[in-house]
Amino acid sequence: MPAQSLRDLWDPSPPPPEDWELEEEAIRREWEYDRIVNEEIDVYGLKWYEVKWRDWHRNDATRTNTTWQRTLNDGNDGRAQKEWDRKRANDRAKKAKESPDVKVGIEAGQPWHEDATVEMQDAYEEKLAERRRRGPRDYANWDAIQHITQTVRDSSSDEGDRSRSIESTTLSHGRTSQRRLLRPGSQHHDPPPQSHPQKKRNPYKEIEARWLQATKRAHAAPVYIVPESSAQDVPPGLEDLEYCEQHYVRTEGVSPPLPDLLVGCDCQTGCKSAKRCDCQHESAVINEASERRFAYNKEGIFKFILPAGGVVIECNSVCTCPTTCQNRIAQQPRDVPMEVFYAGDHGWGVCTRVDLSVGKVLGVYTGKLIHRQDAEDLSDEHRSYIFDLDVQEMDHEDDSVQHYSVDSLHHGNWSRFINHSCDPNTKVYPVVWDTVIEQNQPYLAFVVTKNITAGMELTIDYNPREAIMQQMGKSKGKTRVPEGAKPCMCGTEKCRGWVMV
């Protein structure tokens, strides 16, 4: 894949196992931490914490007792980590108040891939915000200047000594500029302006910069764009795309979330049993004994026990459980860095920059939420960016029931680039947390169905019902192509030869 070579230079190697990961007794032991001592941002934009441990050190010459952790499970709802983040945020805000000036360029001896960490430590974002807040007031006294006139000789004149003045302008901030003023009769001419080649615009860098800002605001991992070349045509809707990491943009007439209808649980330290959670009363996730179960295990891995037509119900804003609850997974900020790349004959595709295991939840499909009848009136090209929220729809339903679709042509995120495959490595499942099931506005979450290596293209089956029919021996197969279908180019052994887009 063309994108792969761009990642090789700074792709981090896995760290060697620590002592507690090698010895069985150490694995079972609960290690007590002392405090967080440092933080950094890695090449994927993810924050890591350096944690100092009590009663443990490395059995080598260094005898160091710190490790780098993504999260700190302190048994106290992550309060130590939150307190560290709060203090660092206050320190950066104070630094920005003292001076909004930012450093330009890489520090001496600083590896370029540590740029994000240096910017964070120097309160780069906070200083930019402070500069915007102050507005143009730094230049309010621009016209309150002192004029110093100095006479100099112009030796190039053939009419004797002609003089000109240099007016020195002292600004309120102590900076000095110089402007040439010609006296009457002077023959001095300014040299013609030099022409400089105009830097060619790279629309992909501009789009990527906007996306990185949007993902940063959503506390999500970054999304990069890797075209075949900067001169490549920008695909439809991409240049003016409103990036929505984890929310819908509702068109006029689409009902918003109704928090008054939400039912919450009263778990205080995290949900332990779906049977005891009030928010799970309507859950379709059950075991063989018809007992309610969570859709995820304690590590946040999807368990693939959701029946066809079912919807995962995650804990919501009314629930009292913490954000670290095992039933709050799809709603969490995406922690997998994505890369949108040009995939040749397949158009544009998306891959990850890290290895992924089965059951890993990647994020949700977003865009503009529209009524189904409006989606059906769109052009065929526009329809290729439509995802129908039809998981619970039945053939004979009351006309009063509202049905919706997600339009990702001008609103959406990385997921709009996932291509079709008849043998995919991801699938989608419906999940709600800010609406009730009856509103028919679930999110569609992507989950890994096969182990994926970094750089491998992510795919889904655009016609999952056909895949189920194929398993049951009732598929149309390659001989009976449905009306309106297009030739499939996935190239897998299970290719049906057609795809409905």
Query: Angle formed by the axes of helices 124-134 and 79-98, to 10°?
Result: 50
Whether 48 and 75 map to the same domain: the answer is yes
Question: Of 76, 111, 134, at which residue does a domain stop?
Answer: 134
Whether 319 and 342 map to the same domain: the answer is yes
Segments forming the whole domain that contains residue 165: 146-181
The region that residue 129 occupies, defined by phi over 0 for left and psi between -120 and 50 for alpha, beta otherwise, is alpha
Is residue 156 within 8 A of residue 185, CB to CB? The reply is: no
Whether 213 and 168 map to the same domain: the answer is no
pLDDT of residue 469: 72
425 falls within a domain: yes
Structural domain total, the chain:
3
Whether 236 and 291 map to the same domain: the answer is yes
pLDDT of residue 489: 87
453 falls within a domain: yes
501 residues of the chain, pLDDT tens digit each? 444 444 455 556 666 666 555 555 555 566 787 888 889 888 777 888 888 888 877 777 677 888 888 887 766 667 888 888 888 888 888 888 888 887 776 666 667 667 788 888 888 888 887 777 776 655 555 455 444 444 444 444 444 444 443 333 333 333 333 333 334 444 444 555 555 556 677 889 999 999 999 999 999 999 999 988 767 788 878 888 999 999 999 999 998 998 899 999 999 888 999 999 999 999 999 988 889 999 999 999 999 999 988 999 999 999 999 999 999 999 999 999 999 998 887 789 999 999 999 999 999 999 999 999 999 999 988 988 999 998 766 555 566 788 999 999 999 999 999 999 999 999 999 999 999 999 999 999 999 999 999 999 999 999 887 877 766 665 555 557 788 788 898 889 989 888 887
Whether 56 and 165 map to the same domain: the answer is no
Question: Of 134, 166, 192, at which residue does a domain stop?
Answer: 134
pLDDT of residue 20: 56
Q: CA 368, CA 393: separation in Å to the nearest integer?
A: 20
pTM reported for the whole predicted model? 0.62
Whether 444 and 339 map to the same domain: the answer is yes
Look at residues 392, 224, 430, 229 and name the one whose alpha carbon lies nearest to residue 313. 430
Q: Are strands 338-342 and 66-69 parallel, antiparallel or unpaired?
A: unpaired
234 falls within a domain: yes
Whether 35 and 92 map to the same domain: the answer is yes
490 falls within a domain: no
Secondary structure of 6-40 in the HEC alphabet?
Answer: HHCCCCCCCCCCCHHHCCHHHHHCCCCEEEEEEEE
Whether 414 and 305 map to the same domain: the answer is yes
Number of residues that make up the chain: 501
Whether 156 and 214 map to the same domain: the answer is no
Whether 126 and 150 map to the same domain: the answer is no
41 falls within a domain: yes
165 falls within a domain: yes
pLDDT of residue 37: 87
Look at residues 372, 378, 356 and name the one whose alpha carbon lies nearest to residue 446. 356
Whether 151 and 118 map to the same domain: the answer is no
39 pairs with which residues across the strands? 49
Whether 209 and 176 map to the same domain: the answer is no
CATH number, residue 307: 2.170.270.10
pLDDT of residue 171: 36
189 falls within a domain: no
Q: CA 406, CA 249: separation in Å to the nearest integer?
A: 9
471 falls within a domain: no
DSSP 8-state code for residue 286 = B
